[in-house]
Amino acid sequence: MELLFFYLFAAGIIGASLLVVTRSNVIHAALLLVLTFFFMSGVFVLAGAEFLAVVQVLLYAGGIMVLYLFSIMLMNAEVSVRLRQFHRQSFFTIVVSLILAAEIWWKVLGGGAAYPAFKGFSWTLGTTPGNVEALGSILYTKYLFPFEVASILLLAAMIGAIVLAKRTIDR
């Protein structure tokens, strides 16, 4: 059952993300990316990371992608649909990335043999620790330092984005 859902989500993710990188219309690509994020949040739920799943929907789909759509519409993106979409070397890129994908696939799907580190653990170890309370308390105690740095990072990004995107600064 779980496996079935996983395959469903995985197929959705791969299909939608392939479309994202091949579509010529930016808006369509953005909407497909939203779809990808939904499937991903489904995968997170399956992995017992329900908080992360909700954050994925709330921040990625509800926040970042709206920002994307907004900017795309501001930038008059329809013009670019008619232009050439791919680099000349794209064929080369496809070949290289296919080789890379095959390699990763082979290594990763080598199964347990490729992961001697896990031999001490059973495959069903996952205790699904993704509940909000545990995550919250670990974030504010053990991970306090990265948390604070992340807050500064967000402040930096906010100020930077405003400075760059503001139309005119009155002088």
Sites for other proteins among residues 80-139 (CB under 8 A): 80, 83-87, 90, 93-94, 97, 100-101, 104-105, 107-111, 114-121, 123-135, 137-139
DSSP state of 147: H
Smallest separation (angstroms) from other proteins to the CB of 107: 5
Q: Which two tokens stand for residue 135?
A: 């995550």
Find the binder of other proteins among 8, 42, 65, 82 (CB under 8 A).
Answer: 65
Smallest separation (angstroms) from other proteins to the CB of 11: 10
Smallest separation (angstroms) from other proteins to the CB of 92: 9
Smallest separation (angstroms) from other proteins to the CB of 32: 9
Cβ(131)–Cβ(51) below 8 Å: yes
Chain-centre distance for alpha carbon 75: 23
Find the binder of other proteins among 8, 14, 42, 82 (CB under 8 A).
Answer: 14
Residues 33-62 touching other proteins, rule: CB under 8 A, are 33-34, 36-37, 40, 43-44, 46-52, 54-62
Q: How many other C-beta atoms can be found within 10 angstroms of the C-beta atom of residue 22?
A: 11
Size of the site for other proteins (CB under 8 A): 127
Cβ(44)–Cβ(52) below 8 Å: yes
Q: Which two tokens stand for residue 63?
A: 């926040």
Of 40, 41, 16, 42, the C-alpha closest to 30 is: 16
Smallest separation (angstroms) from other proteins to the CB of 150: 5
Cβ(24)–Cβ(77) below 8 Å: no
Dist CA 97 CA 154 (whole Å): 33
Check binding of 12 to other proteins (CB under 8 A). no
